[in-house]
Amino acid sequence: MHEAGLEPWLAGLRKGLSGVSGKRRESVVAEIAGDLELRMRSSGVDADSFVAGLEDPRALGRALRAVHGLSWWRYVIAYLLALPLGLLSVPLDSVLQWWPSTLMLALLLALTLRSGARGGRIHGLLVGLTGALPRIIVLLLITGLLGELDQGYGIAEVPGGTIAFVVLTSLMIPLFGFFATGRLRQ
């Protein structure tokens, strides 16, 4: 807990740092809070007067986010990679047994964790959803398509275990992205 008078200013700083991973954000806030407390003590003025003389905390947070956060093209690349990885990670055992869907799933998970750790909770969640939603859609399409074909020719169907696996992992991946923030070292 920091000096009470500084808390509203520090809350503004945290807002400006949104998008930066939790661990890094708190480290930045701790550094600046420690320095401000020292400056406030040496200045001898009360907290309100001291805070009034400080710069806009959100602007400072945004300037620091430009240093620590991800650049816009890194965000875009994460989404562009998550979408095909999600599509390609659907198990196609019924159709293409050699397809390395587990590898694609592992890559999607790694990308999601990295995005969460580097770009913050929301970015991790959205990258996870970008990969997870198309998996479910593709699975539904394949299940429906194979169901149609099965009626006529009896060739194949998606096993119930595969459906459960895809649904479960698709639910878990965005959550991993959301909770990855600050878990991985930058």
Partner 1 sequence: MARRKDPVSEMRRGVLELALLLHLDTGAACGADVMSDLDRNTDGRLQVSEGALYPALHRMEKKGLLSHEWIRDVQGRKPRKYYSLTDEGRTRLAELLAAWHDLRGAVDALEGGRGDA
Cβ nearer to partner 1, comparing 43 with 102:
43
Residue 139 CA neighbour count, 13 Å, CB half: 25
- Estimate the crossing angle of helix 121-153 against helix 101-119, to 10 degrees: 160
Provide the mask over 48-87, with x wherever binding to partner 1 is found by CB under 8 A and - wherever it is not. Answer: ------xxx--xx--xx-xxx-------------------
> Smallest distance, Å, CB 120 to partner 1?
17
> Smallest distance, Å, CB 123 to partner 1?
19
Cβ nearer to partner 1, comparing 45 with 87:
45
Angle, CA 64 vertex, CA 22 and CA 32 arms, to 5°: 75
Site of tokens 């930045």: 28
Cβ nearer to partner 1, comparing 35 with 150:
35
DSSP state at residue 97: T
Burial 128-166 (b: 16+ CB within 10 A, else e): bbbbbebbbebbeebbeebeeeeeeeeeeebeeebbebb
Instruction: Check residue 14 for interaction with partner 1 (CB under 8 A).
Output: no
> Smallest distance, Å, CB 61 to partner 1?
10
Cβ nearer to partner 1, comparing 28 with 78:
28
Backbone angles phi, psi at 136, to 5 degrees: -70, -40
Q: Is 158 in contact with 108 (CB distance < 8 Å)? A: no
Cβ nearer to partner 1, comparing 39 with 74:
39
Site for partner 1 in 109-138 (CB under 8 A): none
Size of the site for partner 1 (CB under 8 A): 23
Site for partner 1 in 16-55 (CB under 8 A): 28, 30-39, 42, 54-55
Q: For residues 89 and 97, what is the distance between their CA atoms, to the nearest angstrom?
A: 13
> Smallest distance, Å, CB 64 to partner 1?
6
What residues line the site for partner 1 (CB under 8 A)?
2, 28, 30-39, 42, 54-56, 59-60, 63-64, 66-68
